[in-house]
Structure 1
Amino acid sequence: MDPHAAAGEAVIRVVGAATNNLRNITVDVPKKALTVVTGISGSGKSSLVLDTIAAEAQRLVNDSYSSFVRNRLPHMPAPEVQSMSGLTFTAIIDQRRFTGNARSTVSTASDLAPLIRLVFSRIAEPSAGYSPAYSFNDPAGMCPDCEGLGSVVDIDVAELIDPQKNINEGPVRFSQFRPGVYRWKRFAYCGLFDREKPLKDYTDEEMNLFLYADQMKLPNPDPRFPKTARFDGVVTRMRDVYVKNRPAKISSQVREELDRLTTHRVCPACDGARLNAAARTSLIDGLSIVDWSAMPVAELRALLEKVKDPRVEPALVGIRRTVDALLSVGLGYLSLDRESSTLSGGEAQRVKIVRHLGSALTDITYVFDEPSTGLHPADVQRLNHLLLRLRDAGNTVLVVEHHPQVIRIADQVIDMGPGAGSQGGLVQFQGTPKALRGSDTVTGRLLSTPLKLTRAVREPRARVRVENASAHNLTGFDVDIPIGVLTAVTGVAGSGKSSLATNELPCQHPEFTVVGQDPLRGGVRSMSLSILGVADSVRDAFSASSGLEPAWFSFNSKGACPNCKGKGYVTTELAFLDDVATACEVCGGERFNHTALNVRLEGHTIADVLKMSAGPVAALFPDRPDIVATMGWLERVGLGYVAVGQSLDTFSGGEKQRLLLARHLSGSPDFAEERIVLDEPTTGLHPSDVERLDLLFAELVDAGATLVVVEHDLRVVAQADHVIDIGPGAGTDGGRLIFAGTPSELMRQKDSLTGRALTAATR
C-alpha cells in the first residue's frame, strides 16, 4: 500500500498555501483529532483555517450540486493554494451574531422549541391542540394582535399628519408619501378627497378613509389611479409596507423617519408572551409554555427533573440533553424566550455548538473561530468538554484559539508566525501542547511561563461609590471604585460584570467614559482612517502632491470607481438566496477610479496606502504629526496588524473597541482627567498582544488615568491594582459582590472561581 496514500487518508493536506499573508506553506492537519491553530493576532491563523481549508471544502461541496442549484449559490473563489486533499464536509461555527429576525429565540435557535411544544401538546391541560398550537410562529398558536412578535408598533398619527395642509401640499410627514411619488398618487388620485381641502376640515368619515381604508373598491377614481388597484389609507399602507414587513434594505433617512413616526410597546393582549390565550392557559403542573420559556435555563433544568410522564419521556430526554449542553457552555443564565439577535457573538457561537452536539453525522470537519471569547476560565473548562465530545464522535475539530486552557487539551497545535501581516504567514511549530511549551516560539514561551502578579499595587488617590447596584441581575449592593488605579471587574459570563461597569458606574458617575463593543456605524464605507479622524489628512497629502482636490482621493466621493461606486465589489441579488459579491472588474477591487490611481506619493497610490498597516503609514507621512501620533496609538492598542483601509464591517467586537480606544486616547489632552471603562478589550488577542495592552494600561494609569476593565483574561487581572469579583454564578445565580481587593487577596478567596483560576495560572 502506498504510504503517501495512507497518510492522505489520515490528514487534511495543504500544499503551497498563499491565501492572504500565508507564505507558500505546506501542512498536514490530522483527521479525527482536535487541532488548535494559534499565533499572534494577524499571523495567518484564520487565513489557514477559515480562508483556505474551510473555504475550499465549502466550495467543493457547492460544486457537487446540480448546475441549477450551483447557479443560485454564492460563487466562492478558490483559495490560493497549489493542492489540497483529505477534505470533508465542513461546518464553520464562528462568532457572527444571529440575524435580526424577531421570530428567532434561544429556544428556536437551539432546536428546543419543537420538543417543548410536543411535550405541551401531549400532556398539558387543557390542551390547546397539536404542536403548532403552541408556536408563536404558526397562526394556530400566535397571538392574533401582535402576530407572534410579542410587541406591537403604533403609528403616531399626530406626528405623521399635518392637518393644516391639503393633499397637493403634502400632508404626510413621511418622505415615502411626499407629493409626486407613487404612494402620494394613490390617495391623490383615488377620487375620494378634495385635493385643495386642508385635512383639518375633513369630516370624521373622510379622515377615517384617508388614514384607515383597507382594500377599498373605489366608486369613481381619477383616470391616473391604477385600474385594477384598490385603495388603502395612509396608516394601513404604512403598516403593511413598513411595519409588518419592514424592508431589509432601507436608507438611513427612511429608518430615522420610521423611528420618529412609530413607537414599540409590549402587546397588551398577550403581555409579550407571543402566544394566544389557549396556549397561555394550557398548563403542566401549574406552569405554561410561556413560564417554561421565561425562566433561566438553569431553573428549567431543575424543573425538568420533576416532570415524569411516559407519554413524552423521549422528548423530555432530548430537552434535558440540550439544556445540559447549554449549561455546559456557561449559558445557564439565558432564558429560552430571549431573542437570538440580542445574543453576543460568543453567546451565539456557543448556541451553535449545542445544535451540532446532537448531530448523527460523523467524519465532519468542525471549524471554530475563538470559541473561548467572552468565557470565564471556569466556563472554558466546560467548553473543552464539548470540543472533545465532537472529536470523540468521529469528527475533525479545528480551533483558531489563543486561550491556554483550550491549547492544553489539543491533540496537536499549529503555531503561526513569527509576526503579523507580512511578517507572519509561516508555520512556526507543529506538535503536541507539551512540545509547544518547550519550544522557542512566542506562544510556547508565554505558555510555559506562569503568570506573575503586579509587583507594586498602586494606592488610589480617591474613591467613588456605586450605591444600590441593581441593573439587570445585580442584587442592590454598594461598592467603591478606586480612582487613579487599574480595576478589573471579573466573574463568569452573565454574572453581572458589564451591568455594574458599563451601566451602573457611568449612570451614577457620568465622568466615566464607556468604550464598549457596540456596533459602529459606517460598515463597508468606513475604515480605521476615517474612524480615527486622519483620512482627510491623508487625502490632503495626496492633494498637495497632485494639485487635485482631496475629494479625488476618497472612494465615497470623486475618486470612486464608477462601476462599483467605491465598494471594491459588485453585488448580485439572487432573490431569496444570499447576495453574491464579486470583485469589481474595472478597478480590480481597488475602489478608486483611474484619476485617483494615477497619483503616487513616494511611489504609492492611495489604494496602496489603505492596504498598509499603522507602522508603514506613519513612515510614509513623517511630516504629518497627526497621522504619526494616531498610527502610534493604533499600534499601542494592539491593532498594528490591521490594514488602515479595512472595512469596518469586518472588524471583530474586540477590534472595534480597541479602535475606539485609540481614537479616544489620540484626542485626549490630559490623561490625569481620564476615567475609562473598557468591556473585555482583550477579545481576540494572543497573550503577547495582551501583554502589550497591559503595558499601555500601566502607562495610562501612571499618567493619572483611572481604568475600569471588565475582563476574563487572567493576564489583565494579574496586573490590576484592584479586583471586583461578581458572582458566584450567572443570571439569577449571580449579581452579588463576591470580593473587592487586590489580586493577591483574591487568590485567598476560596469561594471565588476567578480566585481559583488566578491561583492555578500563577503556579
Structure 2
Amino acid sequence: MEKLKENVKIDLAPIDLSGHENIEIFGAREHNLKNIDTVIPRNKLVVITGISGSGKSSLAFDTIYAEGQRRYMESFSAYARSFIGDMERPDVDKINGLSPVISIEQKTTSKNPRSTVGTLTEIYDFLRLFYARAGEAYSYNTGKKMIRQSEDQVIDHLIENFEGKKLILLAPVVKGRKGHYRELFVQIRKMGFTKVRIDGVVLDMEPKMQVDRYKTHDIEIVVDRIIAKKEDRYRIAQSVKTAMTHGKGVIMVRDEEGTVHHFSKYLMDPESGLSYDEPAPNSFSFNSPYGACPSCNGLGKVEEISREAVIPDDKLSISRGGIAPLGDYRDIWIFKKIEAILKRYKVSLSTPIKNIPEEVMHTLLYGDDVAVAVSSKKYPGTEWNTKFEGIISFLEKQKDEGTEKTRKWIEDFMSVKTCPECNGARLKKESLHFKIAEKNISELAQMDIDTLWDWFENLEERLTDKQKIIATEVLKEIRKRIGFLLDVGLNYLMLDRPLRTLSGGEAQRIRLATQIGTQLVGVLYIMDEPSIGLHQRDNVKLIKALQDLRDIGNTIIVVEHDKDMMLASDYIIDIGPGAGRHGGNVVAAGEPDSFLSQGSTTADYLKGFKKIEVPKERREGNGEKLVLKGAKGNNLKNVTLKLDLGKMICITGVSGSGKSTLIHETLFPILNQYFFRSRKTPMEYDSFEGIKNIDKVIEVDQSPIGRTPRSNPATYTGVFSDIRSLFTELPEAKIRGYKPGRFSFNVKGGRCETCEGAGMKLIEMDFLPNVHVPCETCKGKRYNRETLEVRYKGKSISDVLDMTVEQAVEFFEHMPKILRKIQTLNDVGLGYISLGQHATTLSGGEAQRVKLATELSKKDTGKTLYILDEPTTGLHFQDIQHLLDVLNRLVDKGNTVLVIEHNMDVVKVADHVIDLGPEGGDKGGMIIAEGTPEKVAKSTKGYTAKFLRDELAIS
C-alpha cells in the first residue's frame, strides 16, 4: 500500500478544461447558412457582420447559442429533463471548444412595471440593505428624529425629569380602532388590573364593560400610579416592565398636568407617540407588502376613471351623447333616473353639459344620497325608488367586479396618474422617512446615474461613526455597480426607470453592465447590436466595457454593424454576400488588418472605397412649419422646436438628451390627438402652431408587428387578404365553394385544427422561456389537406406564405394590386424575409421596416409627417443606402420625414439637423445646434458636431 501511494502523483498545475484555442464550427446549415465551416478565436472580441438577412443571427444565436443551451440542458438530471423535454439540436455537424454560453439579446426586456433599472442591476437591492441597517428614522408627523429607549433608560428618565411628581403608567392596547372590546375588558380584569383609560378618560373596570363599537377608540391599561423617587426605583422598574410587556414594547406616562409622554424600545417619536416597525430590507421594497405604498401597491401610478374621457365634449347635451359611456338618449332606466335628478335642479337632458351647475354634474358622476322615483314607458305602472350611484362610481365598481368584456370597455375611460399617496415614490410613508445624509431611498432612485455617483463620492464624510462601520462593504458593491453603468454609457438613466420604457439597446447594455458585475470567467457571451441607440461619443465606453469583459478571460461574440466596433475588435467574420438565399456564406474573416484586405462589401465600406454619398444640394422645404413651443417634459428645458416641412429632418444628440421625450412623448401625442383622437396625453408644453400644414402623422417605431406566430408581414401589410381573394377566384376553389375565409389560418374551416392555424405549438417550459415547435399534424403548413389542394401556378396558399418577398415579387409580377405591397417590402431591404414569417422572429429593425413598407404601399397625399425612431437598427452600410433611397422618395413627393438617429450616415444626408444636449439627463434637454449638417458641424457645442465634421471632411 505504501509503495502504491509513492507512485501516485498529484499535479496541481492549472488544467485547461476547454482543450481548444478556438471555437470550431463545422457544417452549419441553420436557416440560410450554406453548410459553412468557420473558426472563432477564444478569449477575443469577435464581430459577426453582414447585410440584413445574410445569416449573422443564424450563426450566432440559432447555431452557437442554441447548441450551448442544448448542452447545458443535457447536464440536467433525467428527472429534470422529463419536465422540460429535449431541445432540438441545431442543424450543424459539429462544434468544438464551446464554452458555457450567455446570450444578451434586445428582445428580452421585461414588460413588468415592477422591473426597474435598479432591480435589474441589483443596485436597489444593496440600497435597501443600506437603509435597513444604517438609515435614521424621522417622524412623518413632526419631522423629529425617532428614538429607541431601553427599560433602564425609561426608568432613569422618569426619576431624573419627574422627581417627586405623581405619574400614571399606561400600557396602550388599542390605538385608533373601532369595536366594543367586551372580551378585551374581561381579559384585563382577569389579569388583575382595576382601571383603564378610554379615549383619555380614566375609568374603573366594571363587569360587562364595553364601548361604542362604531366609534374609533384608544384604550390603555392603567398599570400603576407612582411618585417618581429614587428610593422607589424597584417599584418603578417593575411597573415599567409590566407596562412594556402589555404595551408590546410601548409605554405611555401621564404627568400631573395631564400631558402624556411616549416611550418605546422600538423607533418612536417622543412628541406624538408615533412608532415604526423595525426596518428590514423588504421595508424599502415596492414589491413587498411590507414596503409598498398601499394606495398604488408599489407601482407609483394609479388608474382612475377620467372625467375628461367620460365627458369628452361639454358643449353637447346629455341627450346628444355628452356622457360618453351612456351614448345618445334612449328610453331606459338610467336616462329616466338622470332626468328625474335634473328636474330637481330645473335643468333638462337637452341642456349643454357646460351649462349644468357643477354640483349637479358632481351628483350625476359620483352619486346622490336622495332617492328618486322613476317610471318608464317601457314598463308602465312600474316605479323605481332608489339612490343614484353615479356614473363614474358605477364604472369604478364594474372595473373591479365586472366581466372581462366590461373591464375592457371601461379601459377607454381610464387614465393613469401619479399616485397621490406616495407621489410616485412607490413606498409607504414610513419607509420614505428613513434617511441617510438627508436623503431617503426614493430620492436616490430618482437621481440619474451621474448624480448618484457624485452623491456616493465621499459619502463617508457625511455619515456617523456607526453608519460608517455598517456601510463599508455595502458601499463598495453599490459603487462598483454604478461604475459599470457609467462604463456602458448609461449615465443618464435613473434607478426607478421601468425596464419596459427602455429601448432594446439600453436594456441590452444594462444586462451587459450586470454581467460585467458578476465577474464570470471562461464564458462565451453573444450580443445582438449592443451599440443600438448609442451616440458615437458613448461608443468608446461600450467598446472599453466589452474589452474589459474579454480581458478577464471571456469570449465575446457581437453581431454588429458599427464601424468603430469592427475596427476595435480582435476578429471579424463577414457573412454574405447577399441576403436570404443569396447569403449564408463566410465571405471574409480575420483580424481587422487582414480583413480589410479581403475585398468584401463590408471591407470596402470600412476602407472608404464605398460610402453613402452626401447630397449635392439640401432641400429648401415647402416654406411651411410646425412649431412646438415651451416643451418641458422630463428633462426638456422649455424647448421650442421648429420643423421645416418638405424636408428630411434628423433629431440627434447623446443618449438621454431628450430626443424621445420631445418627439415621442410630446410632438407625436399632440398630432395623434388632433388627427386620430388618441387618448395619450402629451407631456407639458405651451403651444403648437402649423398643425393645418399637414394632413396626417405616421409613427414608425420598433415595437413588434405582433406578439404571436399568427402575425406576419403578409397579414400586417394587408397583402394576405388580396392573396386569399386570388385563391378564392381559382376554378378549383369555385367548384368546391370555398370563400376567402377558407384560406385564412385564423378561422375554422380551412386551417389545421391541431395547431388552430398557428403552424406551431407552444411548449410551456417550467424553468426556461416557452418554446414554439412545429405542429406535428400539418408540419408547420397551417392548413388542412383539402385547402392545400387548391393551387395557383402550382403553389398552395402555404407555399405562398413560405416564399421570400424577393420570390413573391417575381411570382406575382402580373398582379398589380398584390405586387405593389410586396414590392415596397422589397424596396426597404426585406427581400429575404418570408411573407408568412412569424412576427416573434423579426428583429426590432425588421418590424420597423415592415411598418414603413405598409405605409409606403398606401397612397400618400404629399402632406404627411413620418416619424421614425432609429431606422438604421440592424442595417448594414449597404442596407442604409436602400433605406435612404426609400425615405428620399417620400420627401420628394412633398412629405416630411422626421428621423431620430445617431448614425452619421443618416445625419450627414439630412436636409436639416436638430442636435439636443449637451449631455444626457438633467444636463441635457436643450437644442444646442440646428440647421444643415454643414452648419451643425461648425457648432462648438455638444458632441455631434465633432463626429459630423469628420464625416463631412470639414476641418
- TM-score, reference length from structure 1: 0.85
Aligned length: 694
Q: Counterpart amino acid of 1:139?
A: P
> What is the CA distance between 1:762 and its match in structure 2?
4.8
- Correspondence for 1:73 among 57, 64, 84: 84
State the distance in 1 between where 2:772 and 2:128 align. Answer: 39
**Where do residues 294-305 of structure 1 align in structure 2 (5 Å cutoff)?**
294-305=446-457
> What is the CA distance between 1:271 and its match in structure 2?
2.5
**Where do residues 60-209 of structure 1 align in structure 2 (5 Å cutoff)?**
60-73=71-84, 75-126=86-137, 129-153=279-303
State the distance in 1 between where 2:487 and 2:725 align. Answer: 54
> What is the CA distance between 1:11 and its match in structure 2?
1.2
**Where do residues 210-225 of structure 1 align in structure 2 (5 Å cutoff)?**
none
State the distance in 2 between where 1:485 and 1:356 align. Answer: 43
Q: Is the 8 A contact 2:422 2:429 kept in 1?
A: yes
Give CA-to-partner distance per residue, 1:691-741, whole Å, 9 cap, x none: 111222233333333222111111111111211111111121111111111
State the distance in 2 between where 1:599 and 1:278 align. Answer: 70
Q: Is the 8 A contact 2:22 2:39 kept in 1?
A: yes
Corresponding position of 2:445: 293
Q: Counterpart amino acid of 1:84?
A: I
> What is the CA distance between 1:578 and its match in structure 2?
4.3
> What is the CA distance between 1:498 and its match in structure 2?
2.8
**Where do residues 263-302 of structure 1 align in structure 2 (5 Å cutoff)?**
264-302=416-454
- Correspondence for 1:529 among 691, 694, 714: 714
Q: Counterpart amino acid of 1:515?
A: E
Give CA-to-partner distance per residue, 1:551-599, whole Å, 9 cap, x none: 2222112321110001111224456864443211001011111112222
- Correspondence for 1:653 among 824, 841, 844: 844
**Where do residues 409-420 of structure 1 align in structure 2 (5 Å cutoff)?**
409-420=568-579
Q: Is the 8 A contact 1:141 1:276 kept in 2?
A: yes
Change (3 A) 1:423 1:454: same
DSSP-derived class of the 2:729 partner: helix
Asked if residue 586 in structure 1 is aligned to residue 770 in structure 2, the reply is no
State the distance in 2 between where 1:626 and 1:535 align. Answer: 11
Change (3 A) 1:489 1:27: same
State the distance in 2 between where 1:520 and 1:79 align. Answer: 25
Q: Is the 8 A contact 1:11 1:86 kept in 2?
A: yes
Higher relative contact order structure (alpha carbons within 8 Å, sequence separation ≥ 6):
1
- Correspondence for 1:376 among 535, 548, 570: 535
State the distance in 2 between where 1:327 and 1:133 align. Answer: 28
Question: Taking every aligned residue pair, what percent have the same amino acid on both sides?
Answer: 36
- Correspondence for 1:567 among 758, 782, 789: 758
**Where do residues 244-393 of structure 1 align in structure 2 (5 Å cutoff)?**
253=405, 256-257=408-409, 259-260=411-412, 264-308=416-460, 309-393=468-552
Corresponding position of 2:615: 454
Q: Counterpart amino acid of 1:343?
A: L
Q: Counterpart amino acid of 2:745?
A: F
Deviates more, 1:691-700 or 1:409-418: 691-700
Change (3 A) 1:736 1:70: same
> What is the CA distance between 1:280 and its match in structure 2?
0.5
State the distance in 1 between where 2:744 and 2:882 align. Answer: 33
DSSP-derived class of the 2:459 partner: coil
> What is the CA distance between 1:143 and its match in structure 2?
2.5
State the distance in 2 between where 1:254 and 1:274 align. Answer: 29
- Correspondence for 1:517 among 701, 708, 717: 701
DSSP-derived class of the 1:9 partner: coil
Q: Counterpart amino acid of 1:282?
A: F
**Where do residues 551-566 of structure 1 align in structure 2 (5 Å cutoff)?**
551-557=741-747, 558-566=749-757
DSSP-derived class of the 1:142 partner: coil
DSSP-derived class of the 2:421 partner: coil
Change (3 A) 1:63 1:261: farther
> What is the CA distance between 1:502 and its match in structure 2?
3.7
- Correspondence for 1:486 among 633, 648, 670: 648
State the distance in 1 between where 2:306 and 2:896 align. Answer: 45
Change (3 A) 1:254 1:429: farther
State the distance in 2 between where 1:760 and 1:699 align. Answer: 27
Q: Is the 8 A contact 2:47 2:569 kept in 1?
A: yes
State the distance in 2 between where 1:152 and 1:694 align. Answer: 43
Deviates more, 1:747-756 or 1:38-47: 747-756
Change (3 A) 1:360 1:721: closer
**Where do residues 618-633 of structure 1 align in structure 2 (5 Å cutoff)?**
618-633=809-824
> What is the CA distance between 1:690 and its match in structure 2?
0.2
Asked if residue 738 in structure 1 is aligned to residue 922 in structure 2, the reply is no
Corresponding position of 2:805: 614
State the distance in 2 between where 1:483 and 1:268 align. Answer: 41
DSSP-derived class of the 1:71 partner: helix
Larger radius of gyration: 2
Change (3 A) 1:259 1:440: same
**Where do residues 665-704 of structure 1 align in structure 2 (5 Å cutoff)?**
665-670=856-861, 672-704=862-894
DSSP-derived class of the 2:520 partner: coil
Change (3 A) 1:163 1:78: farther
State the distance in 1 between where 2:50 and 2:607 align. Answer: 15
Deviates more, 1:596-605 or 1:106-115: 596-605
**Unaligned stretches of 5+ in structure 2?**
1-15, 138-266, 268-277, 311-323, 335-378, 461-467, 671-687
State the distance in 2 between where 1:749 and 1:145 align. Answer: 49
Q: Is the 8 A contact 2:18 2:98 kept in 1?
A: no
State the distance in 2 between where 1:451 and 1:750 align. Answer: 25
Q: Counterpart amino acid of 1:516?
A: V
**Where do residues 220-239 of structure 1 align in structure 2 (5 Å cutoff)?**
239=400
Change (3 A) 1:239 1:24: same
- TM-score, reference length from structure 2: 0.68
State the distance in 2 between where 1:735 and 1:237 align. Answer: 42
Q: What root-mean-square deviation, in Å, do the aligned CA atoms of Structure 1 and Structure 2 show?
A: 3.1
Q: Is the 8 A contact 2:399 2:410 kept in 1?
A: no
> What is the CA distance between 1:760 and its match in structure 2?
3.1
Deviates more, 1:71-80 or 1:293-302: 71-80
Q: Is the 8 A contact 1:74 1:579 kept in 2?
A: no
State the distance in 2 between where 1:497 and 1:153 align. Answer: 27
> What is the CA distance between 1:668 and its match in structure 2?
2.1
> What is the CA distance between 1:29 and its match in structure 2?
1.0
> What is the CA distance between 1:526 and its match in structure 2?
2.0
